[in-house]
Structure 1
């Protein structure tokens, strides 16, 4: 199933017509990007919403001396800034981490959704609220959690989000992030990231091989990261609504 559809159906039950228009949108205006390039840059004039079809990307801010802070990750099924049309220019950059395929969604698509597809509109509102909740958790991560808690929490979040989109294989998932990426996302030095990952490995909380992350016991990793998945709102009652009502 299209990862966007799978994710949105956790927020509202979609009709066949809803799925058709989302499938159509994901097949039009498709672009491919190599790893470690920008999809859009700070200062650009935004024109479309980018839907991640495959691969991983990130939102980041960068200082003039090159120091960079990753402020969120985009996974398959994610839309980059639903309300981007109101901005005169981008105030952040979006860059790829792996090979990425996106679909550019124009303003007209969202006008069509708003006019005739209320279930999709409801689901997109929920996604916006979840994204805001994720940013709050990232702020808590940077301000209050220890290095081990911070790393474990981030790994739990990524695993849950991938599972929501149907992109995990039991205890494992794709994991193209480097230690430099993790440092820029957690506010830790690369040396500290390396040490923290070694601690999580030694405790048999994670296994990292190549570009695959395995989590032998998700419950133990959640305990280590003080992770509560409630902010992801994965079981919202909207998923039980009848699309024909």
Structure 2
């Protein structure tokens, strides 16, 4: 149930067999949620923690005119609403973009796990900090970079994040998003996204085959996007904390 979640953090933290067994034996329920459906709506106070097991979802808000703004993409292994027990009602919505399988962990179960296994509490805190780091990076990218570099950044980020959970090769992955999804995340119109995508393809920075994204030269795309994956905190570091 937690394989993708744990896989992201294995390079940084060492969890014991007892930690892993506690997670696997927890009272966790899974359910499938259809595409374009709220998992948790803005203003809700869920009594479960939600983790994406498969599919793609997003954090989003809606402007008064109904315009959707995507604040973050959620992939398998991502925790949706970690801070709800602390802050109460959710101030944004968590919605699926594709069919998703979602794990639901009751908050009382989560509380017992983190109290009994401090290592798990540490990893969950790390997950929350990574979410904040991604938000900071997106504020920079969307607010201060031109359209072509914004879109290139998206392709780079998905590559690295999908690789961390075993859903990408060295330069290829499946991305079942629409150009409207990308436009809502990048602050661009769908027409602008289409033109920008065409520009990246003409430069041979990205190729698309249906839902498959291929990156002919990963380093060239990263250089063009000014992409530094450090904010994702996925690579092991010599001074990274080790969890007993």
Match of 2:106 in 1: 106
Structure 1 regions of 5+ residues with no counterpart?
none
Cα deviation code 1:136-189 (max 9, x no counterpart): 011001110011111111211111111111111232112011100000000011
2:162–2:168 contact (8 Å) kept in structure 1? yes
Contact 2:115 2:121 survives alignment (8 Å): no
Provide the rounded CA distance (Å) in 1 between the counterparts of 2:125 and 2:168: 25
1:149 lines up with 2:118 in the alignment: no
The two structures, once aligned, show a CA RMSD in angstroms of: 1.9
Q: Does 1:49 align with 2:49?
A: yes
1:7–1:77 CA contact under 8 A, matched in 2: yes
Shift of 1:46: 2.1
Deviates more, 1:9-18 or 1:155-164: 9-18
CA distance in 2, matches of 1:46, 1:213: 35
Match in the other structure for 1:37: 37
Distance 1:43 1:140 in 2: 27
1:35: Cα distance to partner? 1.0
The ranges of structure 1 where at least 4 consecutive aligned residues each deviate by more than 3 angstroms after the TM superposition are: 236-243
- Partners of 1:35 and 1:97 within 8 A in 2: yes
1:238: Cα distance to partner? 8.0
Q: Match of 2:135?
A: 135
Alpha-carbon contact 1:13-1:240 (below 8 Å) kept: no
Partner of 1:207: 207
Is 1:10–1:234's contact at 8 Å kept on the other side of the alignment?
yes
Unaligned residue ranges in structure 2 (runs of 5+) = none
SS in 2 for 1:79: coil
TM-score of the aligned structures, taking structure 1 as reference length: 0.92
